[in-house]
């Protein structure tokens, strides 16, 4: 595992409509890390991810992916180093599932439904089977349930196989069992992939993430291993709700409960 950070965020700040959305956020992540971004609604999680993904520009600070400033990268260059799964992707895509997954290969080959390169084909097949959507390959994406759609998009992220994956609540539409399986797949994506994943489910975050970033009101409140970040007092203050953290009865991680 390389010691150079794959994601480097330094003093990032962003304002919108006179409000500070992000304020002096800084962290680094390295290859193979699964980093969860948690925090209450409006804390700036999605905004932070958009800044990393290049669709929003930070007013202050620097964001670098694979050592290169996002600002200096073309959309294609960005797409070659990171995949991105937004919070509300379109649901009306008329393409078959396989093509939606293949879109993940676009930065490298284009959405080539006629591409015969075996290697590409295999990557797509493998991604579909890992996300458990292989049986949906011929179905039209817009006819799928929202849970199926979410898994197809996860397959797309896997197919893209970029060194960094930026995911905004990839499991929001999934039931508990599917969410567990999806996160399990993502957490052992490629060994070298850095995953930054916005999660609302603190217990899923506690179990699957190597490290957590807790955001509150646009600031980085805490950062570190789940056991260090998930503390009753910090969480209660950040979420403005009394939360208690206990030891998970059978998983070796914290368990967050509302009081």
Residues that bind another protein (CB under 8 A): 53-55, 74-76, 78-80, 83-84, 86, 89-90, 92-100, 103-104, 106-107, 110-114, 137-138, 140, 142-143, 160
Q: Are 177 and 147 in contact (CB under 8 A)?
A: no
Residue indicated by tokens 């700040």: 13
Q: Which is nearer to another protein, 20 or 99 (CB)?
A: 99
174: which 2 tokens? 């999934």
Q: How far is the CB of 182 from another protein (least distance, A)?
A: 19
State the distance between the two ends of the chain, measured CA to CA, in whole angstroms.
Answer: 40
Q: Which is nearer to another protein, 142 or 241 (CB)?
A: 142
Q: Are 51 and 21 in contact (CB under 8 A)?
A: no
Q: How far is the CB of 54 from another protein (least distance, A)?
A: 8
Residue indicated by tokens 């799964």: 85
Q: Are 112 and 124 in contact (CB under 8 A)?
A: no
Polymer length of the chain: 259
Q: Which is nearer to another protein, 116 or 191 (CB)?
A: 116
How do 34-38 and 19-30 pair as beta strands? unpaired
Q: How far is the CB of 45 from another protein (least distance, A)?
A: 17
The residue among 48, 56, 50 whose CA lies nearest residue 84 is 50
Residue 202's φ and ψ, nearest 5 degrees, are -65, -30
Q: Which is nearer to another protein, 13 or 86 (CB)?
A: 86
Q: How far is the CB of 167 from another protein (least distance, A)?
A: 11
Q: How far is the CB of 89 from another protein (least distance, A)?
A: 6
């Amino acid at each position: 595992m390389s010691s150079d950070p794959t994601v480097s965020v330094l003093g990032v700040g962003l304002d919108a409509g006179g409000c500070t959305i992000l304020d002096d956020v800084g962290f680094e992540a390295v290859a193979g890390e699964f980093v969860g971004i948690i925090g209450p609604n409006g804390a700036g999680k999605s905004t932070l991810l958009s800044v990393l993904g290049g669709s929003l520009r930070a007013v202050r600070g620097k964001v670098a992916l694979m050592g290169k400033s996002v600002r200096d990268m073309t959309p294609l260059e960005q797409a070659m180093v990171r995949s991105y799964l937004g919070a509300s992707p379109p649901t009306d895509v008329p393409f078959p599932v396989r093509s939606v997954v293949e879109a993940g290969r676009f930065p490298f080959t284009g959405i080539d439904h006629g591409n015969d390169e075996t290697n590409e084909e295999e990557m797509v097949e493998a991604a579909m089977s890992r996300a458990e959507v292989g049986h949906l390959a011929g179905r039209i994406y817009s006819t799928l349930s929202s849970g199926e759609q979410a898994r197809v998009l996860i397959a797309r992220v896997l197919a893209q196989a970029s060194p960094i994956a930026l995911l905004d609540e990839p499991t929001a539409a999934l039931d508990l069992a599917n969410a567990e399986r999806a996160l399990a797949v993502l957490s052992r994506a490629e060994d070298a992939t850095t995953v930054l994943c916005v999660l609302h489910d603190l217990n899923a975050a506690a179990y699957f993430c190597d490290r957590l970033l807790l955001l509150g009101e646009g600031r980085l409140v805490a950062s570190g291993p789940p056991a260090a970040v998930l503390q009753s007092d910090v969480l209660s203050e950040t979420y403005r709700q009394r939360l208690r953290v206990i030891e998970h009865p059978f998983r070796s991680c914290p368990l967050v409960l509302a009081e």
